Amino acid sequence: MNKATEISDRDLSRVRLRFLDLLKSFFQEEPDAERMSRWRGIFAALAKEKINPQLDAVIIQLGEILNKKDLQELKNEYYALFTNPYSNHLVPLNASHYLDGKDFGPSLVSYRELLKTARLIKDKTITDSEDTLLIMLDTLVTLIEEEKRGGGEQAKDFQNQLLQQFLFPTARQILTNITSNPEANFYKKCTRFLCEYLELEQGLLEKPDR
């Protein structure tokens, strides 16, 4: 690999990490004024770029929603979808709920095996299950950073397993779930953005035919 390619790969890793940081910020906690202002700036900038037609369309839609809605509307939507245990539209965010039809199902065991093989250990201060959306996104971040440090094809293989077997199927099912709520305008688009981006990630990790 020549120096130019190395720089290109390094830049690509930085872009991937920035997108994943943005995606994590949607689901971490209720938005506040600082985060909403950050989102508005990011989507205004992204709207000027051309990535692919599907992602570009969602970016424009998210920018428009952010300019129309106020902070309290986003807080209320987040609460109804991800926090309120009595909500009729509460959205689970763990993979086994969707892949197995129940929490803590066999897919969680498989996911833990992937983490073990990749030598990744969940922070003991985190009480959520390893297969929750945020932890899976964090795992992808860690594997990209490992690739940057020279993890090579093995780090890419782990990323691909994570995406194909757990993260992307879960994101698609979360989108199906959240779409059933007619009032979830913003987070429906956030989840669409997540799915479109993860599809790009899968394309990056596909091995060329030999």
Nearest to 128 by CA among 28, 19, 26: 28
pTM of the model: 0.89
Nearest to 111 by CA among 138, 90, 92, 88: 138
Distances in whole angstroms, Cα of residue 104 to Cα of each of 4, 11, 23: 45, 37, 24
Beta partners for residue 132, in sequence order: 94
pLDDT tens digits, 57-66: 999 999 999 9
pLDDT tens digits, 141-193: 999 999 888 767 888 999 999 999 999 999 999 999 999 888 899 999 999 99
| Domains identified in the chain and CATH numbers | 3-205 (1.10.3480.10)
Encoding tokens for residue 123? 């922070």
Nearest to 109 by CA among 96, 123, 127: 96
Nearest to 27 by CA among 116, 91, 73: 91
Of 1-15, 48-62, 143-157, least confident by mean pLDDT is 1-15
